[in-house]
Structure 1
Amino acid sequence: MRAYQVTSHESPPSIADIPRPEPAKGQIRIRIRACALNFGDLLMIKGTYQDTPELPFVLGMEVSGEVDALGPDTEGPAIGTRVVVFGGGGGLAEYGCYNANQAVPLPDSMSFEHAAAFPVAYGTSHVALDYRARLQPGENLLVLGAAGGVGLTAVEIGKLMGANVIACARGADKLEVARKMGADHLIDAKTDDIRTAVKALGGADVVYDPVGGEQFKAAFRACRPEARLLPIGFASGDVPQIPANHLLVKNLTVMGLYWGGYMAFKPSVITDSMTTLFRWYSEGKITPHISHSLPLDQAAEAYELLRSRKSTGKVVVTID
């Protein structure tokens, strides 16, 4: 089968012909139809992601497709069932094997592309804002990187939860995408002073930050008393250091969120969240924003869109 494989951290991935995997006990094999790309994939390519597999490996954390085969003594989902899986890897291939209990059947109305774009971005934002930060109606939610894969879903979910959403992104085009997803206020990270702009709006009650660096520092200083800050990632490449004495002065709370980590120690958090999110999707309350969809042969170009930050929302690779 064809797969987009990493064989070295010093050279770029490439399309390779590798053996089609066979499902073990407790696993299913999926005929993959779509795979969404994530910033963590870029770190895996360099070998710096917290869960980078051993070489060689196939990229692609989020996949959707049809169940193609069951492992020995494995019950369902039945062959032919349309499913989505957050597998952590292996998605940029024609077939992949995953634990059967990781597969979530798709609503009839959901396309494979929407399904692949769904788990990480929506799951991260919903667990962060609902389970971790306990975002309340009327609170000021500041979303950094608001036009990116997770940032845009935070705008959409925050608005759905009744927050006053302040979206921060680079450039008018990206801010327009955030506005269409429900942002109430827009801050241009290229030209505006984030701290001054947020304080002029009354300060932030919750900060959702997949960027880090100087933007985190500015948001930190624009927080209201008892604000909650959510470091989601560090797309800037700069992991900020948090002055503990400032936490005391304003009674601030900083809470980390690694969505995939709940798979290992508290999977009910993810399954409960997915139940809510799929219901919202079926009700038409949320819709994935996919700025680019490319075939497997153009996987390198797809990753370059992510790397150069020319995409908004999600980038999806389709596999025929």
Structure 2
Amino acid sequence: MRAFQLAATGSQPDFAEIPLPPPGPGELRVQIAACGLNFADLLMIDGKYQDIPALPFTMGMELAGTVTEIGAGVTGFAPGDRVACFAGQGGLAPEGNFAAHRCLRLPGTMDFVTAAAFQIAYGTSHLALDHKARLQPGETLFVTGAAGGVGLTAVEIGKRMGARVIASARGAEKLAVARAAGADVLIDSESPDLRGQLKALGGIDVMYDSVGGPAFMEALRATRPEGRLLAIGFAGGDVPQVPANLLLVKNLSVMGLYWGGYLTFRPDVLTASLATLAQWIAEGSLHPHVSQTFPLEQAADALACLKARRSTGKVVVTMG
């Protein structure tokens, strides 16, 4: 089959003809309908991601499709099941074999594009805000990059959890997207004196930061005592260096969140989180935002769109 592969870090991925063996023990063969793209895909290409599969590999970390074959020892799935899968790789192809424990049966109301878009972005935000930061109703949540793939989900989930949400993004168009997702207060990321603006709003209890750079440090100084700061990613390229004396004086906590790591040491936490999210989406309390879809043949263009930050919410590649 024809798959979109990365042959070497630092090079550009391209299509290659590869074989597809039968599913092994514990695996499902999935006919892929859609694959969600992530900032981590760009980091893999540059060789900068913390968990890069052995080269060469087919790109695409999260996908959705239909089970066509069952490997030995698999229970709970049958051919014809509609599933979402956090595979880590293999999504940018017509088919693939994936570990059954990484697959989740879809509610009947969820389409494949939505299913391919929600796992990593919504999963990251829910795990960060619920399991790590213990966000409480009535608290103030500040989200950077609030119109991006994960930031937008943090706005929506934070609002679903009862928080007052302050959203930061660049420009009126992106801020409007954050407002539509439930943000209560909007701050243009290019406006001056972020610290002063946040303090004028009463300060913050939880910061969800996927950008890094100066915004993290300014928000740190506007965080209330016992506040929690979540380091989700560094899309801006700058990794903040946190002064520990400020943490001590204000009793602050800084926490990192690598969502995929939970597959190794606490898969039960991750699975429970995804099940909660699927239920919320099926109930209509969350609305995954996909700004653009591309056919598989335009996978390179889809990644370029993500890299140029032309998207709001998720970019999804479809196979049909």
Which category of TM-score, normalised to the shorter sequence, fits these structures? over 0.9
The match for 1:74 is: 74
User: What is the rounded CA distance, in whole Å, between the counterparts of 1:244 and 1:83 in structure 2?
Assistant: 44
Runs of at least 5 residues in structure 2 that lack an aligned partner in the other structure:
none
User: What is the rounded CA distance, in whole Å, between the counterparts of 1:314 and 1:3 in structure 2?
Assistant: 21
1:24 matched to 2:24? The reply is yes
The match for 1:293 is: 293
1:116 is paired with a residue of what secondary structure?
Answer: helix
The match for 1:50 is: 50
User: What is the rounded CA distance, in whole Å, between the counterparts of 1:43 and 1:132 in structure 2?
Assistant: 24
The match for 1:195 is: 195
Q: CA deviation at 1:76?
A: 4.3
User: What is the rounded CA distance, in whole Å, between the counterparts of 2:132 and 2:72 in structure 1?
Assistant: 38
The match for 1:277 is: 277
Runs of at least 5 residues in structure 1 that lack an aligned partner in the other structure:
none
1:100 matched to 2:100? The reply is yes
The match for 1:167 is: 167
1:288 is paired with a residue of what secondary structure?
Answer: coil
Distance verdict in 2 for CA 1:243–1:319, change over 3 Å: same
Distance verdict in 2 for CA 1:246–1:289, change over 3 Å: same
The match for 2:303 is: 303
1:255 is paired with a residue of what secondary structure?
Answer: strand
Q: Which letter does structure 2 place at the counterpart of 1:250?
A: K
1:128-159 Cα deviation digits (max 9, x unpaired): 11111111111110000100111000000101
Q: Is the 8 A contact 1:70 1:76 kept in 2?
A: no
Q: CA deviation at 1:244?
A: 0.4
User: What is the rounded CA distance, in whole Å, between the counterparts of 1:166 and 1:73 in structure 2?
Assistant: 48
User: What is the rounded CA distance, in whole Å, between the counterparts of 1:200 and 1:265 in structure 2?
Assistant: 41
User: What is the rounded CA distance, in whole Å, between the counterparts of 1:73 and 1:208 in structure 2?
Assistant: 40
The match for 2:35 is: 35
The match for 1:10 is: 10
User: What is the rounded CA distance, in whole Å, between the counterparts of 1:39 and 1:57 in structure 2?
Assistant: 17
User: What is the rounded CA distance, in whole Å, between the counterparts of 2:128 and 2:255 in structure 1?
Assistant: 9
Q: Which letter does structure 2 place at the counterpart of 1:184?
A: D
Q: Is the 8 A contact 1:21 1:96 kept in 2?
A: no
TM-score, with normalisation over the residues of structure 1? Answer: 0.98
Q: Map 1:140-289 onto structure 2 (within 5 A).
A: 140-289=140-289
Distance verdict in 2 for CA 1:181–1:79, change over 3 Å: same
User: What is the rounded CA distance, in whole Å, between the counterparts of 2:287 and 2:314 in structure 1?
Assistant: 12
Q: Is the 8 A contact 2:151 2:210 kept in 1?
A: yes
Q: CA deviation at 1:11?
A: 2.1
User: What is the rounded CA distance, in whole Å, between the counterparts of 1:78 and 1:183 in structure 2?
Assistant: 41
Q: CA deviation at 1:279?
A: 1.2
Q: Which letter does structure 2 place at the counterpart of 1:84?
A: A
Q: Is the 8 A contact 2:10 2:47 kept in 1?
A: no
Q: Which letter does structure 2 place at the counterpart of 1:141?
A: L
Q: Which letter does structure 1 place at the counterpart of 2:231?
A: P
Distance verdict in 2 for CA 1:74–1:137, change over 3 Å: closer
User: What is the rounded CA distance, in whole Å, between the counterparts of 1:244 and 1:273 in structure 2?
Assistant: 31
CA RMSD of aligned residues (A): 1.0
Comparing 293-302 with 64-73, greater Cα deviation is found at 64-73
User: What is the rounded CA distance, in whole Å, between the counterparts of 2:219 and 2:15 in structure 1?
Assistant: 41
Q: CA deviation at 1:242?
A: 0.7
Q: CA deviation at 1:57?
A: 0.8
